[in-house]
Structure 1
Amino acid sequence: MAKTIFITGASRGFGKIWAEAFLKRGDKVVATVRNLDSLTDLVQTYGEAILPIQLDVTNREACFTAINQAKEHFGTIDVLINNAGFGLFGAVEETSEQEARDQIETNVFGLLWVTQAVLPIMRAQGHGHIIQVSSILGLVALPVLGLYNASKFAVEGLSETLALEVKGFGINISLVEPNGFTTDWAGASATHAQSLPAYDGVKAAFQASMAESSFGNPEATTPAILKLVDSANPPLRLFLGKVAFPFAKQVYEQRLATWEEWQDVAVAAHGE
């Protein structure tokens, strides 16, 4: 059965790839972008099946307007994919106030506004699926991406809480956790803080580790996303790529070992 999918950040990368995959199989797609020209090819190919909307997700009022426009146009919103976001590269000390605010405004508040806007519609329908595009860096951290890590950690906590709150309304929540993929996330889409020489060594080590990493093909994520959307019982978290789960498992094993080591101290802190 065809679904109506609302996708933010659909101008390129995962958002555009997934939007086209839904359209190809006969779904209706509401695609939000900052520049409508980026969707010209999809509009020409799929016509009335796609509703392009210009949207800056940091504008809460505009998010509610876009969601309501989509509901009025297609009559329903079955799936929301919160994909809009960007990466900020720079050590924590290097990050300016404005850079930090911009990162959180887009990656956290933008996602929150669109989520809040769609919830009344999904509650009234008695069904819905909200897919938050997080990152493996919402579960484990890397250097030189502190504010990005923080934004995705926030998305994790918000979405896990939301899942507990809306399950009774027939609404499912899924967090998608990609490892690195060959999108332009680290290229034209990214911003960079002004460098401090003190962190040159940290950055060199980070770049060396990235050079040795395996990056996935973004087109290859499509079957996983289609399966997630079609699942009657979707998982709260879905890793994308072959690197994400082993990385998370290694880090969590180290965390558990440390917590066990300090458990006597933790228990003593409880008091009598």
Structure 2
Amino acid sequence: MRTSPGSTGRVWFITGASRGLGRAFAEAALGAGDRVALAARTVGPLEELAAAHPGRVLPLGLDVTDREAVFAAVAETVGHFGRLDVVVNNAGTLSMGMVEEFTEAEARAQFEVNFFGALWVSQAVLPTLRKQGSGHLVQISSIGALGGFPSTGLYSASKFALEGLSEALALEAAGFGVKVSIIEPGGYWTDLYTAMHCTGTLAAYDPLRADLAAQFAEGSVDSDPKLAAAALLTLVDSDEPPQRLLLGSMVYDLAFDISRKRMATWAGWEQVSRAAEYAIPAPSAG
């Protein structure tokens, strides 16, 4: 299943690589004998991996919201390693708050990283992947893209946008031999929640917030990021990778539950849906 160009393995470009899932992805790629360009705002943690794997790690300080810097980082990677094989758009942030509570600046900031950052990376790597006639672009989405949930509306919106973009991109890139996959992870022990941003609050939502707090108080058990990294390796090793991959039993079950409910609703309103369409000739001008 796996094909590694040359004798030195594949070349990866991973964003948000200094911690959490990104760090686990980097370690898995290195464990597979591949070479990696590791991009993150904080370069310090990447230097440790570079020292442990001489010649196989390119640490890159990068803010993915800076389009020009993203293109420069990708160019540096290709210049350093000579090619690109696997690109992992992993950088992301979480902002929590009810939709009404978001300021314009907070809403835009959520999209700047989760959507536009991934867009800039996708645009930057495509010329190289098209020219090669190969490559795999992996977009790290979220359970939040399966549906909208109270207090994570803007986060879900950014991931919904990423998935819509990625579906279109998969069709556009397929003719060039470039694969695009979307990974939807569940809970992993990362610092996503400890580093998240919270909006100001409106008292009107205090009862709902209390209900959510009671649900969270029941506790949850997240998984080791290494399990997500193992799944990623299986994905990129596949000759026919799926467009979407769910990670975790909870996400898997939730995806089917949400899909069944949507299908039941569509079926219940089928008559109204079909009645809203009846082709007519183009209206005459004037």
User: Structure 2: which amino acid aligns with 1:116?
Assistant: Q
Query: Residue 128 in 1 paired to residue 135 in 2?
Result: yes
Q: Which residue of 1 aligns with 2:148?
A: 141
Q: Which residue of 1 aligns with 2:41?
A: 34
Q: Is the 8 A contact 1:6 1:30 kept in 2?
A: yes
Counterpart-to-counterpart distance in 1, 2:72 and 2:165: 23
- State how many pairs are aligned: 271
Residue 67 and residue 233 in structure 1: after superposition, are their counterparts in 2 closer, same or farther (change >3 A)?
same
Query: Residue 203 in 1 paired to residue 217 in 2?
Result: no
Structure 1 stretches lacking a partner, 5+ long: none
Q: Which residue of 2 aligns with 1:244?
A: 251
User: Structure 2: which amino acid aligns with 1:86?
Assistant: T
Q: Is the 8 A contact 2:78 2:84 kept in 1?
A: yes
Show CA shifts across 1:7-52 (max 9, x none). 0000100001110111122100000010111212212211220000
Show CA shifts across 1:193-242 (max 9, x none). 01112112222222333344442222222221111111111100011111
Counterpart-to-counterpart distance in 1, 2:76 and 2:182: 25
Counterpart-to-counterpart distance in 2, 1:255 and 1:162: 25
Q: Which residue of 1 aligns with 2:112?
A: 105
Show CA shifts across 1:41-78 (max 9, x none). 21221122000011110111111100010000000010
Q: Which residue of 2 aligns with 1:60?
A: 67
Counterpart-to-counterpart distance in 1, 2:150 and 2:188: 18
Q: Is the 8 A contact 2:14 2:90 kept in 1?
A: yes
SS in 1 for 2:87: strand
Structure showing greater radius of gyration is: 2
Counterpart-to-counterpart distance in 2, 1:64 and 1:239: 30
Higher helix share: 1
User: Structure 1: which amino acid aligns with 2:16?
Assistant: G
Counterpart-to-counterpart distance in 2, 1:211 and 1:246: 22
**Structure-to-structure mapping, 1:1-272, within 5 angstroms:** 1=4, 2-188=9-195, 190-212=196-218, 213-271=220-278
Structure 2 stretches lacking a partner, 5+ long: 280-286
Show CA shifts across 1:83-124 (max 9, x none). 001000100001111110100011100000000000000000
SS in 1 for 2:138: strand
Counterpart-to-counterpart distance in 1, 2:160 and 2:229: 24
Q: TM-score, normalised by structure 2?
A: 0.92
Q: Is the 8 A contact 1:90 1:144 kept in 2?
A: yes
Q: Is the 8 A contact 1:214 1:243 kept in 2?
A: no
User: Structure 2: which amino acid aligns with 1:199?
Assistant: Y
Q: Residue 152 of structure 1: CA displacement?
A: 0.3
User: Structure 2: which amino acid aligns with 1:210?
Assistant: F
Show CA shifts across 1:126-183 (max 9, x none). 1010000001211222110011000000011000011111111000000000012221
Q: TM-score, normalised by structure 1?
A: 0.96
Counterpart-to-counterpart distance in 2, 1:207 and 1:215: 17
Which deviates the most, 199-208 or 118-127?
199-208
Counterpart-to-counterpart distance in 2, 1:26 and 1:113: 28
Counterpart-to-counterpart distance in 2, 1:210 and 1:230: 36
SS in 1 for 2:246: strand
- Over the aligned positions, Cα root-mean-square deviation in angstroms equals 1.2
User: Structure 2: which amino acid aligns with 1:192?
Assistant: C
